[in-house]
Chains A and B, each alone.
Chain A
Amino acid sequence: MTESYAPRDWSSQPPYLHPDYKSTVLRAPTRKLIPIRQSLSEVTGPVYGHDRLGALDADLTRNAVKGAEPIGERIVVTGRVLDEDGRPQPNMLIEIWQANAAGRYVHVVDQHPAPLDPNFLGGGRCVTDSEGRYKFYTIKPGAYPWGNHHNAWRPAHIHFSLFGPSLSTRLVTQMYFPGDPLLPFDPIYMGTPADCRELLISRFMLELTEPSFALGYEFDFVLRGRRQTPIE
């Protein structure tokens, strides 16, 4: 007998269709989702541990250097992965990707005419420790323009991907920075229910800031909890 996972809290999630974010119009499913009764297929999921990590994977300030340091403001991004009952989630893979300090992605289809940084890739990963903690060193990403509407700019953000303990806990999201004036104009951020938007904003923490080295930001993730009902 195996535990199953608590349902997705739809009141904390953005809708599929959010017309202010134009790409949703032709890509959002239009039919009601069909509920699935969790089976072994949903309570299992990919497991990736420390063995899959390169030594510098969690340090984006060093994992792509070609002889010099990347340009920009060094930051520490750290926090915990919890479930909704507050239980730490140890040994969980976290993958991240982001633009460089100038707001440019390494991705070949990014056409924004801001400079690439030869010493910065913008991709990284790590695995949470026994208390569910993770920590990345990186460069604060810049804002960048996009084609959603006239003069559209994405607020600075870091993309995160987490599996959690099962297929049903999969989470892909974006972390923003406190006080960013672009947030209220961003339809992706604003697509989130109003009372949950602040969950996507990291906190600046002087306690996490490393003297003479990097500013500290804290960001926690909350995944679906477990429930007692056994699977079929």
Chain B
Amino acid sequence: MSKLRQTPSQTVGPFFAYALTPEQYGYDFASIAGGVLAEGDVPGERIRIEGRVLDGKGDVVPDAMIEIWQADGQGRYAHPADPRGSNIAFKGFGRVGTGTDPESRFIFDTIKPGPVDGQQAPHINVIVFMRGLLLHAYTRIYFSDEAEANARDPVLASVPAERRRTLIAIRDEKSDGAIYRLDIHMQGPSETVFFDV
């Protein structure tokens, strides 16, 4: 049977906020997701993830949208394809625009994901959207304090050694929890590794 053609992607454009991230931007419409993934007593280590998106001139991008998808503290995804199920209170999905923070950062308050299988190091899946990107771009966030697991990770191993640092968020210990920082560089010498998922 002949296959149907996949619908072409088009850019998210500059005006997504009132529909996709309305509460963050102050519009009168409910958000399905935001920057806070872990509320209440979800088990796991509370962490913050923050970073900026930079263009080929090194300018900060104030109109990007970042989505993250991650496993819970025990490495389980809230999705039927993961037979283990996950913590009921943890959905694992976050979405923010870079247009409300004074430094144009994306900020997620979440829990550190556990390892999802026997091979991969703990990681967060990331999708980048913005005006000027006709097709979204996939990347990942790994954690600087997981050096041993990172060294065994098959996805990191498929990335040229000198580019792996573009995927590893640096842990900064704070009194009220760790902050991991990682900027996303669309171009340039530190261009982030993007994946063909």
Contacts and interface: CB of A to CB of B under 8 A. Distances in A.
Interface stretch (A67-75, A81-89, A205-213): A81-89
A48 B95 CA distance: 14
A40 B77 contact: yes
B186 to A, nearest CB: 5
B104 to A, nearest CB: 13
Interface in A90-116: 93, 95-97, 99, 105-110
Interface string B1-33: 101111111111111111110100101111011
B27 A38 contact: no
B134 A40 contact: no
A170 B8 contact: no
Contacts of B4: 82-86, 222
B6 A26 contact: no
Given A121-B29, A166-B79, A192-B8, 10 more contacts: A14-B135, A27-B131, A36-B138, A39-B119, A39-B155, A40-B71, A106-B18, A108-B25, A123-B18, A193-B8
A33 B56 contact: no
B125 A42 contact: yes
Interface string A27-44: 111110111111111111
Interface in B175-195: 186-187, 191-195
B132 A23 contact: yes
14 contacts: A16-B134, A29-B187, A34-B158, A38-B197, A41-B77, A95-B19, A121-B18, A123-B18, A123-B19, A159-B19, A161-B20, A174-B11, A192-B8, A199-B5
Interface of chain B: mostly helix, strand, loop or mixed? loop
Contacts of B123: 41
Nearest to A161: B20
B82 to A, nearest CB: 6
A40 B86 CA distance: 13
Contacts, number: 253
B29 A26 contact: no
A182 B125 CA distance: 37
B129 interface: yes
B132 A107 contact: no
B9 A13 contact: yes
B46 interface: no
Nearest to B22: A123
A84 B3 CA distance: 5
Given A47-B79, A95-B19, A188-B11, A25 B56 contact: yes
A209 B76 CA distance: 46
A41 B32 contact: no
Contacts of A34: 158-159, 193-196
Interface string B26-67: 011110110000000000000000000001110101010000
B84 to A, nearest CB: 10
Interface string A158-179: 0101000011101111100000
Interface string A108-138: 1110000000000111110000000000000
B197 to A, nearest CB: 5
A13 B8 contact: yes
B197 A39 contact: no
Contacts of B93: 46
A62 to B, nearest CB: 13
Given A33-B194, A40-B116, A85-B1, A200 B10 contact: yes
